[in-house]
Structure 1
Amino acid sequence: MRLAIAEINLQALAHNLAQVKRFAPGCKVMAVLKANAYGHGLVKIAQYLNDADAFAVARIDEALALRAGGLTKPIVLLEGFFHQDDLPILLANNFQTIIHDENQLATLENTSLDAPIACWLKVNTGMHRLGIAPSQFESFYSRLKASQNARDDIKLMTHFSCADDINDEKTAQQIALFNSLADGKNEQHCLANSAGIIAWPKGHGEWIRPGLMLYGVSPMLNGVGQQHGLEPVMRLTTRVIAIRDVDADQCVGYGGRWHSDKPTKLAVVAMGYGDGYPRHAEQGTPVVIKSQRYGIVGSVAMDMITVDIGDNRDNIKVGDEVIMWGPELPVEEIAQCATTIPYELLCNITPRVSYEYQE
């Protein structure tokens, strides 16, 4: 009997990419595949995003893994490069780089290359993480245009910090600042992440870069993917491995976090933080067994979770499937129960979980 499985629905992935294009018609799509495609499997996911115009990853090893997997689309390094020795690798593999600080620009300018590299100039408009200061923009832009190591079509980029909150004015301010800097520059623009794609159409530009929404998860505060016409790509399941009778006033699990107030039955399921399930999921966090919700009780352990099934012992058997999240149980809801975000849950799936790709 196979236990923890991440079922990956590739038809849902294709549907979500089509939905992205409906949100931003006419825009080119840079599909974000960093962190193992948000826990969904880097190369396999990329192979089913044929309608994307480019891929984006955080680091060069992710980009090399895509090339080794046979992917030929342009690949953008969202963190850029970090050493002069990286530049020949970028050139040989048709990788495009973000330029976000003086060290990167100076290294690019002072390296001998056989051909120019495609560059994206990233401006900090309010995220205060990566990106040049607005006051540096004219200088950086001019230097890139003058460098024989940078292709002439410099693309301009920024990143939103609060796009998931439609009531926060900061995104509109970031869009206005970016537009004021880019005005008069005949270059393509890329501003919108998933939340920007959904909620801020004035920030779409010529390129958009969907990440979380490709996987069917809402990037908006307190949102659920289905609200935006998205379909969950991952369905995380396991099995019941034991059923236990528990008397009244018994404590369950490490630390005795939960006490039974009456006689009940528990299903022990093969899932825990060793599989990537959040250890701090609160009491009552739902799972689905045979189309019915039941609540987790006790502490999430490395390999097991206990679920209060009440008097349903005759209905639930050892070997029955347990849905931890998926179309029937949004991962956004589980994230709220664990006081975290869906990104973390998806990215934390560990290697002992089996992946099954469904076309």
Structure 2
Amino acid sequence: MRPARALINLKALHHNYHYAKSLAPHSKAAAIIKANAYGHGAIVVARALHDADAFGVACIEEALELREAGITQPIVLLEGVFTPDELPLAARYQLMVAVHCVEQVIWLEQAKLIQPLAVWLKIDTGMHRLGFAPEQVASIYARLNACSHVATITLMTHFARADEVECEATTRQIERFNKAIQGIDAPLSIANSPAILAWPKARLDWVRPGIMLYGATPIAEDLAVSQELQPVMTLESALISVRELDVGESIGYGARFTCEQPTRVGVVAMGYADGYPRHAVDGTPVAVNGVRTRIIGRVSMDMLTVDLTPLPQAKVGDRVELWGNMVLANEVAAHSQTIAYTLFTGITRRVPLVYQY
């Protein structure tokens, strides 16, 4: 079989969830497992996090997949329902629903449900994607509170720049949130992963760890709080060819890399059809047999090429780590003008997920 695979360390996943809990010891934590748990496999991740307080997903399809697999913890639909006919399903499967627009309020008021729903009322404090303006919150809360189909209400917002620890935008969003909820007694949830790590004032009744669950920090790696995270996914493959090239020889499509010295080149069974970023530049780190080296030449659909000059003993069949413990996903992302989120969620179906318990 082709050697490309993604190892998923479930012990590291469990560690990261409880690390988030330790940073917010008085909070409940909704583990965010949307987008197939950021590419890690939602059902297996949910089962591994059997002691999680709740899970967060993007849509009802993701929630129903979990329910049908026997996941019983509370699940919140972070974007709510997209049509009113999803509300009876949400009630049947005991899902919590975000409410971020007037249309969703009306659908709730007009619904016919077997039981009331737990609602997460979203407030727009500066992200300007979803949510009610702060001045609308009191009236919308009153409508929801009066609705017979609403069981409980949690107030939430989402940060735009919490990963920028020196930026005052997060402080302003917290201030707007606190002003908007004056006079309302309800559970509160505002902290995503960077806020859990770097903004103590955001650790309220509920926190929502996402990318940090999977061991990638959304803020600087050199901060002490980031260093406690453990990578969950190791993307690996193997060398399938080794060759020696002379000075002046070029490698791969477009001849992007030209050898300035005699160069030992390894070909790895990994490409953009597996989810590895095509736009990774020359010098993107990779590890061969536990030794860090670099990508040279353009990434192809099924293969990429690496510099084996520092590894004179490397041979066909030797292990290659594309990201994991030796090469952090954030490093690869930085060399590819993207973020670790896109690397994880971009892994394609031809790369098997191999779970380590």
TM-score range, shorter chain: over 0.9
- CA-to-partner distance for each residue in 1:51-105, whole Å, 9 max, x for gaps? 2111000011100110111100110000100111101100000011000001111
Identity of aligned residues (%): 47
5+ unaligned residues in a row in structure 2: which ranges? none
Calculate the TM-score normalised by the size of structure 2. Answer: 0.97
- 1:167 equivalent to 2:192? Answer no
Q: Aligned letter for 1:325?
A: W
CA contact (8 A) 2:7 2:355 kept: yes
Structure 1 segments of 4+ aligned residues over 2 angstroms from their partners: 221-228
Specify whether residues 273 and 173 from structure 1 end up closer, same or farther in structure 2 by C-alpha distance, changes over 3 A only: same
Structure-2 residue corresponding to 1:331: 329
* Partner of residue 43, structure 2: 43
Cα distance, 1:225 vs structure 2: 9.0
The aligned residue for residue 70 of structure 1 is 70
Q: CA deviation at 1:149?
A: 1.0
Q: TM-score scaled to structure 1, two decimals?
A: 0.97
1:311 Cα deviation after fit: 6.3
Amino acid at match of 2:341: Y
The answer on whether the counterparts of 2:197 and 2:226 sit within 8 Å (CA) in structure 1 is no
Inter-partner Cα distance in structure 1 for 2:225 and 2:348: 26
Q: In 2, distance between residues paired with 1:231 and 1:196?
A: 18
In structure 2, the CA distance between the partners of 1:89 and 1:311, relative to structure 1 (3 Å rule), is closer
Aligned equivalents of 2:224, 2:75: Cα separation in 1: 26
Match of 1:215 in 2: 214
| Equivalences for residues 24-103 of structure 1 within 5 A | 24-103=24-103
1:112-167 superposed Cα distances (whole Å, 9 cap, x missing partner) = 2222111010000000001011121111101000111111x211000011100111
Aligned AA for 2:117?
A: I
* CA shift digits 1:149-194 (9 cap, x unpaired): 111x211000011100111101111111111121221100000000
Counting matched residue pairs gives: 357
How far off is 1:293 after superposition? Answer: 1.2
Q: Do the aligned partners of residues 342 and 281 (structure 1) sit closer, same or farther apart at CA in structure 2, a change above 3 Å counting? A: same
What root-mean-square deviation, in Å, do the aligned CA atoms of Structure 1 and Structure 2 show? 1.3
Q: Aligned partners of 2:196, 2:262: CA distance in 1, in Å?
A: 50
For structure 1, the 5+ residue unaligned runs are none
Q: Give the partner amino acid of 2:116.
A: P
* Preserved CA contact (<8 Å) 1:123 1:158: yes
Partner of 2:117, secondary structure, is coil
Cα distance between partner residues in 2 of 1:67 and 1:7: 25
- 8 Å CA contact 2:138, 2:181 repeated in 1: no
Deviation at 1:224, TM superposition (A): 7.7
Asked whether the equivalents of residues 288 and 294 of structure 1 are also in contact (C-alpha less than 8 Å), the reply is yes
User: Per the alignment, do residues 289 and 226 of structure 1 end up closer, same or farther by CA in structure 2, a change over 3 Å counting?
Assistant: farther
